[in-house]
Amino acid sequence: MTGWLDALERLSGSRTKAGLTRQLRPRPADDLVVDLAGNDYLGLSAHPEVVAASAAALTAYGLGATGSRLVRGSTDAHADLESDLADFLGAESALVFSSGYLANLAAVRGATAVCDLIVSDAYNHASLIDGCKISGRRTIVTPHNDPAAVATILDAHPGQPAVVVTESVFSVDGDLAHLPELHAVTSSRGALLLIDDAHALGILGPAGAGGVAAAGLAGKSDVIVTATLSKSLGGAGGVVAGPAPFIRHLIDTGRTFIYDTALPPAVVAGVHRSLALVRDADDRRTVLTTRASETVTRLTAAGFPVDHPAAAVLSVLAPGPEAAVAWAADCRDRGVAVGCFRPPSTPDGTSRLRLTLNAGVPDEAFTRALDVIVECAP
């Protein structure tokens, strides 16, 4: 094959013209930027107890897990975390992966061992979309957050085993899925419901148990829950929770579990300690609720109407990809980090800033950050 690098350069040029290039921006350990871009919603990633638990496990186990979970990578720390995650999520069993992305790939593909049809929300995260693709099963994409559309599709395929895939709080705009209505649709038609609870875990539900628990669906035999451990829990990794036979199936067949090096025990221990803190973090969840209202009020008054978030994710529309990039860059230059979402990260083809609330940001810094966002608007 000749000229392949030239072909890549031409593709890069096309992305540049469309305003769709991306940059890595390394940050120092002492970074002073106000963080409204990351996903450390409860501000626990640097909590002293979390760091101490991780440091103790680092000393005890060493840097890495040294192998995949089925070889040498499973430790007491992994087993303890999985037990507590299952309890927290109200599930029969839980399995930890090295990332939320890999957990979603495994969960979707695992469900298709018994399901011939996938029904997927149009705004689902890339990891869920990729899980649908690698499964090899027929996938029908429904209009966003539309249980009636899901019902229509399932009714058009009577008797065909299906899994419906959704997020609880959607990662682009932060809106809440209609989970009770959706489960009524799937349960009445014998379909499975797979819910990515990544952006609701730690924030919604009793003691922060997530959007699935808030909807009264925890522990249902026809519900599979996935989540990342890198957002409200402040660490890394992912989890799939659900009926024990399904978790057993993933251990036996899940390629992203079997062939991947396990999550380092030091990270597992830090996440486990964070989970304990999340259970007793109503004060931090109250801060997020207050800041959500403050953000909506401030941005709407400035002429940027935003919907009240279901959890801690808000989106502000930008005129286009170039404007979104410039807006985010100007905020960063003034000490405020905000997310910049452009196609293909935005399924509707529009560009926006994504703001993620963080209970660990001091009040004065948070208020200043809102001022900066408004002042830097295109």
| pLDDT greater than 90 at residue 378 | no
Which two tokens mark 84?
Answer: 């507590």
The per-residue pLDDT for range 82-126, each reduced to its tens digit, is 999 999 999 999 999 999 999 999 999 999 999 999 999 999 999
Spatial CB neighbours of 62, under 8 Å, sequence gap ≥ 6 = 265
| Cβ–Cβ under 8 Å, residues 260 and 102 | yes
3-class state of residue 231 by DSSP: coil
- Cα–Cα distance between 119 and 141 in angstroms, integer? 6
Query: What structural domains and CATH numbers belong to the chain?
Result: 25-42+281-375 (3.90.1150.10), 48-279 (3.40.640.10)
Contact assessment for residue 313 and residue 171, using Cβ atoms and an 8 Å cutoff: yes
Of the listed ranges 103-112, 195-204, 335-344, the least confidently predicted one is 335-344
How high is the pLDDT of residue 93? 98
Walk across the sheet containing 238-242 and list its strands.
93-97, 238-242, 223-228, 192-196, 162-167, 117-121, 138-142
The answer for residues whose C-beta is within 8 angstroms of residue 309's C-beta and 6 or more apart is: 174, 175, 292, 296, 357
Amino acid at residue number 335: G
Tens digits of residue pLDDT in 159-172: 999 999 999 999 88
Question: Which two structure tokens, joined as six digits, stand for 287?
Answer: 């801060």
For the entire predicted model, the pTM comes to: 0.95
Q: Residue ranges of the alpha helices (H) in the chain? A: 4-17, 48-61, 76-89, 100-111, 126-135, 147-155, 179-188, 211-214, 244-253, 255-258, 265-279, 282-301, 321-333, 363-375
Residue pair 40/234 in contact (Cβ under 8 Å)? The answer is yes
Q: Dihedral angle at the C-alpha atoms of 205, 209, 127, 158, nearest 10 degrees? A: -70
Q: What is the mean pLDDT of residues 225-243?
A: 98
pLDDT of 345 above 80 = no
Of the candidates 226, 164, 237, which has an alpha carbon nearest to the alpha carbon of residue 201? Answer: 226
Q: Which residues neighbour 9 within 8 Å (Cβ) at sequence distance 6 or greater? A: none
E strand or H helix that includes residue 193: strand 192-196
Q: How far from chain centre, in Å, is Cα 220?
A: 21
Preceding amide of 344 cis, omega within 30: yes
Q: Tell me the C-alpha distance between 133 and 108, whole Å.
A: 10
User: pLDDT exceeding 90 applies to what percent of the chain?
Assistant: 89
Residue 191's pLDDT band (boundaries 50, 70, 90)? very high
Per-residue pLDDT of 38-70, as tens digits, reads 999 999 999 999 999 999 999 999 999 999 999
